[in-house]
Structure 1
Amino acid sequence: MDMRAAVLTAFGSPLTVREVADPVAGEGGVVVEVLATCVLPYTAEIFSGARQYPLEPPVVPGVGGVGRVVGIGSDATTVRVGDLVWCDPLVRSRDEALTPDITLQGWSSRGEGGARLARHWHDGPFAELMRVPAENVYRLPEDIGVDPARWAALGVHLVPYGGLLAGELAAGEALLVSGATGNFGSSAVAVGLAMGAGRVIAPGRNLAALKLLADRFGPRVRTVELTGDADYDRAAMLETAGGPVDIAIDLLPPQAPATAVRAAAMTVRESGRVVLMGGVGMLGGSDLELPYPWLMRNSITVRGQWMQPRTANIGMIRLIAAGALDLAAEHLTTFGLDEIDAAIAHAAAHGGPFDRTVLTPVAL
């Protein structure tokens, strides 16, 4: 049989919705009927080739999603046909435990090994059906079945969650989010609070987005209007923090200057932690250049983190199910598969805090 999918045939070309062969679970795989997947704000930049992602057309793209299991391989022992699941796009090679090759299914990969893995787990969720590794599906509470589109935001929230786990954010600590007014940065604010941060410092230039954060979360969030003057902004962030900053996480996009990352990073206290998850430098430009004496004399830990460990999927599902992270307050705009071009354009124009563009390949 054939399913319908949105296919990227070449960078710079619009996606084509057409019939393709249904995926088969095979050994180690699961086939999922895709109910909802987030269309990220920078999707158009990837498909145009501007971001130079190592994605190999023709491909059914997309990154992660919520679906219903319709087929399982013979080696699956827990997942069942009919289960409502989250599909984690972060696929790891199975033949190397210490430094596995990694691909983001339907989206990106790391190195030649990751590219080889991507050719096997090639297609993403912009389709009615998707084949994923059995270890990449996580059962969701059945009572969310009436609104699975909201849970597609897992694909956004998991990114900063992985960074905050890597930075070992502890309850009561002060967290500074560099890039707080963006899609991933605002998620870091919400996730940090859900994890128990005592206060979150949220710098940015978008005054409307800063007000939204302050109004939604109240006094635990302290906003800072940035000027672009790195020294002035660093001083303003420290003053607004009103005490030591324990951890800073950067989620700025590739277009942001390295000076903005450095100003935010250098707010952390002695023995503070800095987590780098953004895109600064990926398209050229200046490097970060943190001062050696500052790092050494203040015993600063700087940690790069790409995505999240497998266990983060369970932790994030629990945070949402428990109500610690509220998805009900997020704004959703949904599009059907035939509206994929409109969905991509909408996502590009609505990349602010808690604004989700969701593709629903199978009608909800």
Structure 2
Amino acid sequence: MRAAVLTEFGAPLSVRELPAVEARPGEVVVDVLATSVPPYAAEVFGGARNYPLVPPVVPGVGGVGRITHIGPDATRLRVGDLVWCDPTVRSRDDALTPDITLQGWSSRGEGGARLAVHLHDGPFAESMRVPTENVFPLPAAAEDDPSRWASLGVHVIAYGGLLAGGLAAGETLLVSGATGNLGSSAVAVALAMGAGRVVAPGRNRAALALLADRFGPRVRTVGLTGDEGADRAAMSAAADGPIDMVIDMLPPSAPSSVARTAAMTVREYGRVVLMGGVGMLSGDDLALPYPWIMRNSVTVRGQWMYPRTANTGIIRLLAAGAPDLTPERVRCFPLDAVNEAVAYAAVHGGPFDRTVLTPSAG
């Protein structure tokens, strides 16, 4: 099979022939039809993000594929099924605190690194091995445009964070980092889940206008100035009432002060979910005031990726047309143009911009 290989950090990906993959017990093999190229992929492949990838590696982070082989433990999957391949692989020997690796992308701790040795390669290839429990059948509608459905990998992250915060219908949510790729997804998914109002702060005025135009009055945009006091007051005013939950999706380049300003708009007994990259590349700590958290009974929690059940939930939402995938701007690249795709993604990472690699399409 052909695959794009990261041979070393800082080098272009190399498209080459690799041995065909085979399903082992507990796994399936899929032909990869479409996989999203994250806007920050160039930072990962260049080494700037210090991800624990071990070259040579076929990278990528989840995708849409068609099953070609199934292992003996699959009882409902069938060869030919169109499926979503969840990259969040968990160890099977600790149900309470499983080790996690993002297949072909990243890992957590020593155990995650060991798991990544077993499931080393991701979806930038014509075929890939996937654990049976990480494969989710897609609805018939996905057959018409698998590349558009590859954005499921973005929406499921936002969905997982909103589930972690217990977002309820009618509540007011503030999305910190709303103008980015993940943050804009959080806006769309929250509305699909029934949020009564979403406050969307950011500096990118064009992106804020896009959100307001697409979603109407349930979204209240706020242009940030960098003044913590003024920005906090503006976000609170835009909510026109208590902010029940804040979800942070800011990238590593964002200063912690922006995340802190947003978090401290939450009401008494409110919830704050941290899913972004603030502090990952050095910089100041978030430094939320202890007395403020304690006296206001605020819940602050981190959430890396999402529970396995979130895959089924977001597939159902997308199948129902909420969020609607139709308006998303999708640019597809064949496997041979993988480096062009990475470069394109780096400058097209705004709301609902999708860069997709199609290794086995056609």
| TM-score category (smaller protein) | over 0.9
Opposite residue 172 of structure 2, the aligned amino acid is: A
Following TM superposition, the consecutive aligned residue runs of length 4 or more in structure 1 with deviations greater than 3 angstroms are none
Larger mean Cα displacement after TM superposition, 69-78 or 173-182: 69-78
Secondary structure of the structure 2 residue equivalent to 1:306: coil
Opposite residue 110 of structure 2, the aligned amino acid is: E
Secondary structure of the structure 2 residue equivalent to 1:271: coil
Secondary structure of the structure 2 residue equivalent to 1:145: helix
Opposite residue 314 of structure 2, the aligned amino acid is: M
- The match for 1:317 is 315
Equivalent residue for 1:328, pick from 326, 332, 344: 326
**Is the counterpart of residue 290 in structure 1 residue 268 in structure 2?**
no
| CA drift at 1:324 | 1.8
Alignment of 1:70-219 (within 5 A): 70-219=68-217
Opposite residue 91 of structure 1, the aligned amino acid is: V
Equivalent residue for 1:29, pick from 27, 30, 34: 27
Equivalent residue for 1:69, pick from 39, 63, 67: 67
Residue deviations 1:305-361 (CA, integer Å, cap 9, x gap):
000000000000000111121001100000000000000000000000000000000
Aligned equivalents of 1:175 and 1:218: distance in 2?
Answer: 15
- The match for 2:14 is 16
- The match for 1:280 is 278
Aligned equivalents of 1:231 and 1:341: distance in 2?
Answer: 43
| CA drift at 1:362 | 1.1
- The match for 2:263 is 265
| CA drift at 1:231 | 1.3
Residue deviations 1:235-269 (CA, integer Å, cap 9, x gap):
11011111100000000000100000000000000
- The match for 1:255 is 253
Residue deviations 1:124-167 (CA, integer Å, cap 9, x gap):
00000010000000000123212011110011011111100000
Q: For the Cα contact (< 8 Å) 2:141–2:319, is it kept in 1?
A: no
Residue deviations 1:54-88 (CA, integer Å, cap 9, x gap):
11110000000000000011121111100000000
| CA drift at 1:284 | 0.5
Unpaired runs of at least 5, structure 1: none
Aligned equivalents of 1:76 and 1:123: distance in 2?
Answer: 21
Aligned equivalents of 1:324 and 1:287: distance in 2?
Answer: 36
Task: Give the alignment's TM-score, normalised by structure 2.
Answer: 0.99
Opposite residue 4 of structure 1, the aligned amino acid is: R
Aligned equivalents of 2:171 and 2:219: distance in 1?
Answer: 12
Aligned equivalents of 1:144 and 1:304: distance in 2?
Answer: 32
Q: For the Cα contact (< 8 Å) 2:158–2:186, is it kept in 1?
A: yes
Unpaired runs of at least 5, structure 2: none
Aligned equivalents of 1:268 and 1:146: distance in 2?
Answer: 42
Secondary structure of the structure 2 residue equivalent to 1:268: coil
- The match for 1:52 is 50
CA RMSD of aligned residues (A): 0.6
Secondary structure of the structure 2 residue equivalent to 1:270: coil
Q: For the Cα contact (< 8 Å) 2:169–2:193, is it kept in 1?
A: yes
Secondary structure of the structure 2 residue equivalent to 1:314: helix
Aligned equivalents of 2:253 and 2:320: distance in 1?
Answer: 36
Task: Give the alignment's TM-score, normalised by structure 1.
Answer: 0.99
Larger mean Cα displacement after TM superposition, 179-188 or 228-237: 228-237
Of all paired residues, the percent bearing the same amino acid is 74
Aligned equivalents of 1:288 and 1:363: distance in 2?
Answer: 44
- The match for 2:306 is 308
Aligned equivalents of 2:3 and 2:253: distance in 1?
Answer: 31
Residue deviations 1:93-124 (CA, integer Å, cap 9, x gap):
00111000000000000000000000101100
Secondary structure of the structure 1 residue equivalent to 2:356: strand
